[in-house]
A = this chain, B = another copy of it.
Amino acid sequence: MRAIKDSVHDYIEVDGVAEALLDTRPVQRLRHIKQLSTVRLVYPSANHTRFEHSLGVYHLADRALDHLDVTGARADTVRAAALLHDIGHGPYGHQTEGIIQRRLGRHHDDVDRLLSNGVVGDVLSDHGLDPERVADLVAGEGRLGQLVAGELDVDRMDYLVRDAHHTGVPYGTIDHGRLLRALTFRDDDLVLAEGNVATAESVLVGRALMNSAVYRHHVSRIAGAMLDRAGARLLDATDLDIETFARMTDAELLAALRDCEATRDAARRVRDRDLYKRAVWTERDAVPDDVATADYEAARDFEADIADTAGVPEHAVVVDTPGEPSMPESSVRVAVNGDTRRLDEQSPLVEGMLASQRVQWRFGVYAPEEHVPEVAAAAERELGLADVGDPAE
């Protein structure tokens, strides 16, 4: 048994299959993937990694299992899934999700292959666990999968608190002690026990406020969009294959971008925080529907058009359309007066929060500082944007 000191949960005790998994390379690799990728360019203290986050998720899963009285191999399977839930992430986490999904057709929760083959699969088998069953839990399947990847999962409970601790932004500091104690099964649904409507609301608002202040901060979005475009150029310009790309660390991707002529400038800009600026930054109402809901290919076409009109190189324009705000916490189930109700049925706050997220939604077009004026003008014309004034916050 090892007791590992954590900045958020104090000591985390790891033994059995979890201890063995810890020493495998796919798990050690998570030490080199930052939890909040480009957010550190806004909040310089936010350098925590998916490694300690995974330990934290393991720890909360362990406590939840204890509370729910789940033991034996079923519990070990959940613990393993909690520890392994992020090994499918590419370099810079969510920022390369798009590329990987487009080119590999695989989401980071789809860890079947990673678990069945190689050292992780071996460790699982050695401890009598079924890798496929672990992969199902990581994908949120089955009764206990809700604990690993659902609206009430321990992933969320860890990252909100951890991101608050490391950014210094307090909004994520939810009461995970209360959440864990409120977890209970009603038939096969994981729900919060009676008296916890506000507890459920607190998770919803905690994440929404972290979205505004942290996760969707424009500086992080700019850097992320630049990495996405640079990643695509890197894969097109070199013989790097997407499987290798997907298994890189943050630093390995940055080094690869630096070593490739087509992406050297992007690498330098991300490393030295010399990012593109906002040429356009506008509310939903000012954006035509086909632009607001543009998919990746359409967005790239817009970039080409804008660059052409503005007379700048294509890679000098980045069009960034965030998807619709989602609130998985809306469907958290809470026991109320003996019934089980979805949070959005019970709490009028959910609709208010969703509406508020829509108000905060912003469409962005980014360009090197020196090209901002012409790119802004070109974008407004090409995309048919309403005039939106100065994009500076």
Contacts and interface: CB of A to CB of B under 8 A. Distances in A.
Contact of A47 (B25, B49, B356, B360): B49
A279 B89 CA distance: 37
Interface residues of A, number: 76
Interface residues of A, dominant DSSP:
helix
A346 interface: yes
**Oligomer copy total:** 4
A360 B197 contact: yes
A5 interface: yes
Contact of A355 (B197, B255, B352, B359): B352
Given A40-B31, A173-B170, A349 B346 contact: no
Contact of A393 (B5, B40, B177, B194): B194
Contacts of A273: 23, 28, 31
A328 interface: no
Interface of A: 3-8, 10-11, 23, 25, 28-29, 31-32, 34, 40, 43-49, 51-52, 55, 165-171, 173-175, 177-178, 181, 194-195, 197-199, 201-202, 205, 209, 212-213, 250-252, 254-255, 271-274, 337-338, 346-353, 355-356, 358-360, 389, 393
17 contacts: A5-B43, A6-B168, A10-B177, A11-B181, A31-B271, A47-B48, A47-B52, A201-B209, A202-B209, A251-B255, A255-B255, A338-B389, A348-B352, A348-B356, A349-B352, A351-B352, A352-B353
